[in-house]
Structure 1
Amino acid sequence: MDYSDHVVAVTGGARGIGRAIAEGFKAKGAKVAIGDLNGAEETAAEIGALGMTLDVTDEAQIGKFLDQAEAQLGPVSVFVSNAGILRTDDPSWDAAGATDKEWQDSFEVNVMGAVRSARAVWPRMKPRGGGVFAIVASAAGLLGQIGASSYTATKHAAVSFAESLAITHGDEGLQVVCVCPQAVRTDMIGDSEDGGIAGADGIVEPSDVADALLASIENKHFLALPHPQVAQYEALRATERDRWIGGMRKFRRMMVGARGRPV
């Protein structure tokens, strides 16, 4: 698909998955704007994009980001809500052990960052006939992430919000894509050599996630799954919940025994 007539905005676009998505759209001819807390201008200069410091917990900043992108590049037709954070549970592996602030931070970025972005961009897209809104969630939002209860819960909420957008605005021209990878070679997996439980099916590159997003847009698919096995796992979880939970307990015992800390 040729994106030469499109403007794409990406949050969390300075590094990792966000940068790869920005580069993927650039390679397809799009004009790209990236926003991030740190490094947006530097990355933008490197890849030939527009960069702006952006905190997705501040709705006014999202509006300014869109204003600047549309003033300099044109109407935004694709918005990628990629900014996200991972907060692990406390070292005792207590799922309720994360602090209120860690839970709130996760919710503000992983859920409300997408909500605020949609609230800002959809009123601009709708009069033009629609557009694409993509949320980079996680396989944790379909399955679960051992040792990261706030991440799991907020990524589930992000997936549900993406579904709500698709149901509510699909007939009005909004295409929604929800990206749900397992382990990706980014700073989020730190120095883990195998990606922990998320790496059970291998670690993919950020460019693989970008390719999955681009393919899902073109093929009109709601889910973008860089790890295709996730679809089968989600089906098993839905139909055999007790077996699923038992299997995850087994993985947790293995991880605690091997590392003694969340991954």
Structure 2
Amino acid sequence: MSAFEPDGACVVVTGAGNGIGAALATGLAGRGARVVVADLDADGAARTVAAIEAAGGQAIAAPGDAASEEGIAALIAAARDAYGPIGAWFANAGVDRGRGLDASEADWALSLDVNVMAHVRAARQLVPDWLAADGGRFVVTASAAGLLTMLDAPAYSVTKHGAVAFAEWLSATYRHRGIVVQAICPQGVQTRMLDEAGPLQEVLSHDTALTAEQVADGVITALGGDEFLILPHPEVAGYYAARATATDRWLGGMNRLQQRLDQHDG
């Protein structure tokens, strides 16, 4: 079992201006990590850094695009300049765009870019150095939607499945060479995304909506091992097993939930 010790390590957290990312950055800094706080929201990144520094931690803000090749290269360079080799990358930034079949081409393109290709592009730049250094850790904030689905949100569901699939591929390919890959797959979390979920809030909160801090604490605990799936809502394991072993029954249950949403919309 491989463990990651945050104390003294350089870690990058994308989407760290708010929500789970901010909680992860703060929690890691509280355990001695030197944190690079990345976010398109420069004010959010600055707030996270200020909170970390007020608690005696070390962090720098790196506002910018953590999805494009150029943005990721600039982020990696800033992290290395500030704190040296990157020990762990928390690919937390994500978007939820579009509803149903009305989700536009732009919704799909942005979802694919941020929720999947950002991870691919980061791994391309990080993995060679990690192989030379005998290890590194790549932690993807996916979603229970990446193991199951999220009703009414096809672009989010499909791309979060893609995020999990890429993480699986990365783990299968490099785990024997010291690279640990983990996928965080929560259900409802008390963030802006849940606030904006409309009727889906009830479904997402069925097994209790956790705070971002509760999710971050679970993730940091999981860094003590190398299990691939990090499930802040343990019930997801059962749903995932049911999806695999009784697929039609599971789909029937999901469809019944959809019918409830249809009635709400009506």
- Please tell me the TM-score bracket, short chain as reference: over 0.9
Cα deviation, 1:135-176, whole Å, max 9, x if unaligned, reads 000000000000101100000000000000000111111000
Q: Does 1:24 align with 2:27?
A: yes
Cα deviation, 1:12-69, whole Å, max 9, x if unaligned, reads 0111000001011111111100110013234223313111112123211111111111
Question: Which residue pairs with 2:173 in the alignment?
Answer: 168
Question: Which residue pairs with 1:11 in the alignment?
Answer: 14
Aligned residues: 255
Residues in 2 aligned to 1:25 and 1:70: alpha-carbon distance in whole angstroms: 17
How far is 1:124 from its partner? 2.3
Q: Secondary structure at the match of 1:185?
A: coil
1:62/1:108 CA distance change after superposition, 3 Å: same
Q: Does 1:46 align with 2:56?
A: no
Q: Secondary structure at the match of 2:151?
A: coil
How far is 1:193 from its partner? 9.0
- The gaps in structure 1 that reach 5 residues or longer are 90-94
Aligned with 1:107 (options 108, 112, 122): 112
- The gaps in structure 2 that reach 5 residues or longer are 54-58
TM-score, with normalisation over the residues of structure 2?
0.91
Give the letter for the 1:205 counterpart.
Answer: T
Residues in 2 aligned to 1:194 and 1:238: alpha-carbon distance in whole angstroms: 23
**Conservation of the 8 A alpha-carbon contact between 2:5 and 2:223:** no
Q: Does 1:75 align with 2:85?
A: yes
Aligned with 2:148 (options 143, 150, 154): 143
Give the letter for the 1:104 counterpart.
Answer: A
Q: Secondary structure at the match of 2:94?
A: coil
Residues in 2 aligned to 1:212 and 1:246: alpha-carbon distance in whole angstroms: 31
Q: Secondary structure at the match of 1:32?
A: strand
Q: Does 1:60 align with 2:67?
A: no
Percent of pairs with identical residues = 38
How far is 1:215 from its partner? 2.2
Question: Which residue pairs with 1:248 in the alignment?
Answer: 254
Q: Secondary structure at the match of 1:85?
A: coil
Question: Which residue pairs with 2:56 in the alignment?
Answer: none
**Conservation of the 8 A alpha-carbon contact between 1:138 and 1:179:** yes
Question: Which residue pairs with 2:129 in the alignment?
Answer: 124
Q: Does 1:220 align with 2:226?
A: yes
**Conservation of the 8 A alpha-carbon contact between 1:194 and 1:203:** no
Q: Secondary structure at the match of 1:29?
A: coil
